[in-house]
């Protein structure tokens, strides 16, 4: 499909807040450099007006330095803090610092950090975020990573929910009103319509994935206009303050 064809299908859809945006690069793989300016230009080119931005530098090797870089970015960036789950004591210390600076969400990178859902550090960080009223944006397989957040009255957005695992998300989310999912991997014909619209948040993982794919899925979905507006940023703004 050409860019022209895609734009016709997307129409006048705008996203007021993308919940899954990164700055920085993966040092062990090919990909875009992920400079803040380039990332924001990519979002703007797709009529994405703001992004909840987290730092790969913070996730991979320099937590405080990467977080401070994101905190120093101007709107339309909504800064998201990152912690190292391999260091639960340091992670909680960093969460307290971020909360004191007004950050409203923390992003977890379990796959990149080699951390499993059953590790005590994940539950420890989950409790801390829930106690401070912080939203958590987490990668990882939702079939496992729902567990450390269960029973905490936590606000969580599962960024990697695949449409093959959507049934598992719906089952656990029925008992957890704070559980939400990104649209990024929900590309089956009826996936978006299957999830309550107030539990869906548009996420692209710009610049490391193509933002036009979730845009096309949302624009061509059977959701009502007010539901599309909620998914395309309204829900994210509600959760992230």
Give the domain CATH number at 18.
3.20.20.140
Q: Mean pLDDT lowest for which of 17-31, 49-63, 85-99? A: 17-31
- For residue 114, being part of any structural domain is answered with yes
6, part of any domain: no
Residue 56, judged by CB atoms within 10 A of its CB (0-12, 13-18, 19+), counts as buried
pLDDT classification of 14: cutoffs 50, 70, 90:
very high
Cis peptide before 76 (omega within 30 of 0): yes
Cis-peptide into 207, omega within 30 deg: yes
Residue 97 pLDDT: 98
pLDDT confidence bin for 133, thresholds 50/70/90 = very high
Quick check: pTM over 0.85? yes
Instruction: Report yes or no on 50 lying in a domain.
Output: yes
Q: How far, in whole angstroms, is CA 42 from its chain's centroid?
A: 17
At 5, the pLDDT band (50, 70, 90 cuts) reads low
pLDDT band at 9 (very low <50, low <70, confident <90, very high): confident
Residue 1 lies in a domain: no
Structural domain count, the chain = 1
Q: Does 2 fall in a domain? A: no
Domain assignment of residue 79, given as a range: 12-240
Q: Please report the pLDDT score of residue 189 as a whole number.
A: 81
Residue 92 lies in a domain: yes
How would you label 107-133 residue by residue, b for 16+ Cβ within 10 Å and e otherwise? Answer: bbbbeebebebebebbbbbbebbbebe
Residue 72 lies in a domain: yes
- Mean pLDDT across 138-167: 98
Q: What pLDDT is stored for residue 1 in this prediction?
A: 42
Residue 201's pLDDT is what? 98
pLDDT tens for each residue of 184-230: 999 988 999 999 999 999 999 999 998 999 999 999 999 999 999 99
Question: Are the beta carbons of 205 and 26 closer than 8 angstroms?
Answer: no
Mean pLDDT of 24-52: 94
Q: What average pLDDT is seen over the chain?
A: 95
Q: Check pLDDT > 70 for residue 11.
A: yes
* 191 lies in some domain: yes
């Amino acid at each position: 499909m050409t860019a022209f064809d895609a734009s016709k299908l997307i129409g006048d859809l705008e996203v007021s807040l993308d919940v899954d945006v990164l700055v920085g690069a993966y040092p062990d793989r090919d990909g875009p450099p992920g400079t803040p300016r380039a990332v924001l230009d990519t979002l703007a080119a797709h009529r994405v007006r703001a992004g909840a931005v987290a730092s790969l530098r913070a996730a991979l090797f320099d937590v405080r330095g990467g977080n401070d870089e994101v905190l120093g970015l101007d709107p339309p960036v909504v800064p998201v803090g990152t912690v190292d789950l391999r260091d639960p004591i340091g992670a909680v210390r960093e969460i307290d610092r971020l909360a004191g600076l007004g950050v409203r969400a923390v992003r977890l990178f379990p796959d990149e950090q080699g951390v499993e859902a059953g590790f005590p550090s994940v539950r420890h960080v989950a409790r801390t975020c829930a106690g401070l009223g912080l939203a958590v944006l987490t990668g990882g397989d939702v079939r496992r990573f729902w567990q450390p957040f269960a029973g905490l009255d936590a606000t969580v957005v599962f960024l990697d929910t695949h449409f093959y695992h959507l049934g598992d998300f719906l089952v656990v989310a029925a008992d957890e009103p704070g559980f939400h999912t990104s649209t990024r991997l929900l590309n089956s014909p009826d996936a978006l319509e299957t999830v309550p619209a107030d539990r869906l948040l548009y996420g692209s993982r710009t610049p490391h994935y193509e933002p036009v794919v979730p845009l096309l899925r949302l624009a061509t979905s059977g959701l009502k206009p007010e539901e599309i507006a909620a998914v395309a940023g309204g829900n994210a703004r509600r959760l992230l303050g």
